[in-house]
A and B are shown apart, each in its own frame.
Chain A
Amino acid sequence: DTAVSQTPKYLVTQMGNDKSIKCEQNLGHDTMYWYKQDSKKFLKIMFSYNNKELIINETVPNRFSPKSPDKAHLNLHINSLELGDSAVYFCASRPGTSGSQQFFGPGTRLTVL
């Protein structure tokens, strides 16, 4: 029944490693997002895909690479992890209708040691 799911829920890794976070939504939504929430709770958009097409790419280091194999999935791959990448990463989705709300996944807490 989960609408937006993410895996893993927790991710602890060493600096310099490469890791991926997966997101899936079963709501039939057209648009998916990745957000980063830092330790001060500031939620900032990173990427957005609409029907597998990248439509928003905020100022994010190119070590972060999103990939959408189909419109129900949006994965985030991070190369050469740095201490500052430690945060909670939220996936979200919304229907294509303008003004509609976004539904958030449970989040992935990434800790880089």
Chain B
Amino acid sequence: QKEVEQNSGPLSVPEGAIASLNCTYSDRGSQSFFWYRQYSGKSPELIMSIYSNGDKEDGRFTAQLNKASQYVSLLIRDSQPSDSATYLCAVSSGGSNYKLTFGKGTLLTVNP
């Protein structure tokens, strides 16, 4: 059974701080890694994707991937109250039967 594990939180940070979200996965064949943000009552929206080891930066967001450790993280710099949401880590092994396996999400609260 392929699994994706996240700290369920809640994670609470003050406005302007760095929020760090972590995710581990069990399938060593995983090739694609995604972070989705989900506001309460809304659908998941993609905020970052990463496919190779190292860091990938997009604005205030940085995704980090370490395939040897089967670990992917998301850093949010200068956190804003509008970043308060559930963050879902998703992993795919690719192939013809492409599907995403999601973690249970981490609830982030940014306090003004």
Asked if A66 CB lies within 8 Å of chain B CBs, one says no
Say yes or no: is B32 at the interface (Cβ < 8 Å to chain A).
yes
Q: Is A25 an interface residue (CB 8 A)?
A: no
The interface residues of chain A lying within 8 Å CB-to-CB of B104 are: 40-42
- Distance between A58 CB and nearest chain B CB, rounded to angstroms: 8
Tell me how far the C-beta of A108 lies from the nearest C-beta in chain B, rounded to whole angstroms. Answer: 10
B7 to chain A minimum Cβ distance, whole angstroms, is 13
For the complex, is B17 an interface residue (Cβ under 8 Å from A)? no
Indicate if the CB atoms of A99 and B105 lie closer than 8 Å: no
Main secondary structure of the interface of A (DSSP, over half): strand
What is the number of residues of chain A that contact chain B, defined by CB distance less than 8 Å? 22
Q: Which 9 A-B pairs have the closest CB atoms?
A: A104-B43, A43-B102, A99-B32, A101-B46, A98-B94, A42-B104, A41-B105, A104-B44, A45-B99
List chain A positions with a Cβ less than 8 A from chain B: 31, 33, 40-45, 48, 55-56, 90, 94, 98-99, 101-107
- Give the interface of B toward A (CB within 8 A): 31-32, 34, 38, 42-46, 49, 51, 86, 88, 92, 94-102, 104-105
